[in-house]
Amino acid sequence: MLIEFIQPNFTFQDERGKLTQLIRAGFKQVNVIESKAGALRGGHYHKVNREAFYIIYGTVVFTASQNGQEETHTFSDGDMFLVPAEVSHSFDFQTDTLLVSLYDQGVELEDGSKDIHVTPKV
C-alpha cells in the first residue's frame, strides 16, 4: 500500500454541532484547497515531506504511484489519508471539493527551495 489511511485525532459532537481535530502535532504547514468538479491537481511528489489530506466535502479520485506501482482510491467527506515522501500523487475532482492538506516539514525548505517535484511522464 502506497498511502496510509488515517483518522482525525479527535472528534466531538453534541447538539451544537461537531468539532474535528485533525492532528495534535507533527505538521508545520496547513493549506485549505478548494477545487471545482473536473479539475486535475497534483502530478508531483515531495522528497522530504509527508503530506496528509482531509476531505471536508466532495469526492476525488486519488492516484498514488512509486517505482512502477500505482494505486487509485476514491475519497469523500471525512476521509483522511497520508502520503509518504517520494510517492507521486494526483487528484481528479469528481465534484466541487474542499480539503485540507498538511505537510510535516513545509513546502518551502530552509535553503529557499521548494519540495515540489513534477512526476516524470512515462
- Going by pLDDT thresholds of 50, 70 and 90, the confidence category of residue 122 is low
In a domain, 24, yes or no: no
SS3 readout for the chain: CCCEEECCCEEEEECCEEEEECCCCCCCEEEEEEECCCCEEEEEECCCCCEEEEEEECEEEEEEEECCEEEEEEEECCCEEEECCCCEEEEEECCCEEEEEEECCCCECCCCCECCEECCCC
In a domain, 106, yes or no: yes
Q: Is the dihedral of CA 39, 34, 72, 45 positive or negative?
A: positive
* Distance (Å) of CA 34 to CA 17, 40, 100: 23, 12, 9
- How confident is the model over 37-84, as pLDDT tens digits? 999 999 999 999 999 999 999 999 999 999 999 999 999 999 999 999
Domain span including residue 100 = 4-9+31-118
In a domain, 15, yes or no: no
pTM of the model: 0.94
In a domain, 76, yes or no: yes
User: What's the domain count of the chain?
Assistant: 1
In a domain, 93, yes or no: yes
pLDDT at 112 over 70: yes
How far is 26 from 8, CA to CA, in rounded Å? Answer: 13
CATH number of the domain at 62, please. Answer: 2.60.120.10
Can you tell me the mean pLDDT for 4-21? 96
pLDDT at res. 30: 97
Can you tell me the mean pLDDT for 99-119? 95
How far is 74 from 9, CA to CA, in rounded Å? Answer: 22
Q: Is the dihedral of CA 116, 9, 36, 83 positive or negative?
A: positive
**Terminal Cα distance for the chain, rounded:** 21
In a domain, 63, yes or no: yes
In a domain, 14, yes or no: no
